[in-house]
Structure 1
């Protein structure tokens, strides 16, 4: 059941990445964020209820709430046109906790593949903190591309592999995944910085791009 939820985490990350890139309107993305957020709250609750004595299951399920609450928060924020600061600082909490879950996967669960994937997520949610909490709009395109790519690499593809019984986590796989992330996200940085506003925050420019689109829709 956790793999099913992870599959749709991939879908919502891909959609949110496209939203940050200006390809999907915020209200359209908001509805799907609510759907996946609800799924990612119901799923871990059921896992915990039906495996009350299994610490490994409970540990794994507890991390799903971080995603569920993020997507519910984002969906409500987009529909209500609220300030993004709350989502941003919650993302900082998620980024820090993701480091703990990475350690748990490496040391307690014996899953180096997901140990690296949690590091990916820590990096992504740190970007959300900078973009939405600190409102550094100059990283909007970069964050959009990282979000869309991670939707496939950290969620949709691993989930499908788990569902089909082909997931094999090894140290070599974890190393390949690490190298891929370092290379791709490093190369994306200079490519996506072209055309972005240099060094200004949304306090000096108004709201973030996502907030601006949301407010525009509320007036129509």
Structure 2
């Protein structure tokens, strides 16, 4: 069930990356954020209710709320025209929690691939904190490209692998995943230095509230 939610998180991240790049207006992106945020709050609630007190199952479901709350926050803020600082500081909390969940994946769940994925999410939410919480607008394009490029390999791809029973996690696969994600972050640096894409609404984008 968690893989279903992860699949659509990939879509939300893709849309939010495009929003940061000025290709999608914040109000247009808000609707998908609300849908995915609601799904990512409903899914862990169902999983916890079905866990029958199993602490490992509850632990596995608990991290999903981080993203559910983020997307609901983004959707509501974009529709209401709220300032983004609250989302930014909440993103700092998410980044810290994602780092803890990465450690859990490595040493408790023995799932190094998802440990790498959690670390990549920690990076994304740290960027959201810097852009939205601290107002470091010079990082907006880099954040947009990084979100866009990491959205599918950290969400949709592992979701499809999990849904089809093809997901595998070992040290070698984790190293390959880390190398791919690092290359994508490097590509974001290169793309950021290129000429900006034309914005659908430059004034609105500068005050956008986006995530992952």
TM-score (norm 2): 0.91
Q: Secondary structure of 2:110's partner?
A: coil
Q: Secondary structure of 2:156's partner?
A: helix
1:100 deviates by: 0.3
Q: Cα gap change, 1:210/1:8 in structure 2, threshold over 3 Å: closer, same or farther?
A: farther
1:184 deviates by: 2.2
2:15 corresponds to: 15
Q: Cα gap change, 1:181/1:208 in structure 2, threshold over 3 Å: closer, same or farther?
A: farther
2:139 corresponds to: 139
Partners in 1 of 2:13 and 2:133 — Cα distance?
A: 18
Is contact 2:21–2:144 with CA below 8 Å preserved after alignment?
A: yes
What are the equivalent positions in structure 2 for 1:57-136 lying under 5 Å apart? 57-136=57-136
Is contact 1:3–1:159 with CA below 8 Å preserved after alignment?
A: yes
Q: Cα gap change, 1:106/1:168 in structure 2, threshold over 3 Å: closer, same or farther?
A: same
| Cα offsets for 1:148-202 (capped at 9, x unmatched) | 1221010001001100111011111100111122222124224304457xxxxxx
2:205 corresponds to: 209
Q: Secondary structure of 1:103's partner?
A: helix
1:208 deviates by: 7.6
Structure 1, unaligned runs of 5 or more: 197-206, 214-220
1:21 deviates by: 1.1
Structure 2, unaligned runs of 5 or more: 197-202
1:218 corresponds to: none
Alpha-carbon RMSD across the aligned residues, in angstroms, is 1.7
Is contact 1:84–1:133 with CA below 8 Å preserved after alignment?
A: yes
Q: Cα gap change, 1:164/1:126 in structure 2, threshold over 3 Å: closer, same or farther?
A: same
Is contact 1:78–1:211 with CA below 8 Å preserved after alignment?
A: no
2:200 corresponds to: none
Q: Which one has a bigger Cα radius of gyration? A: 1
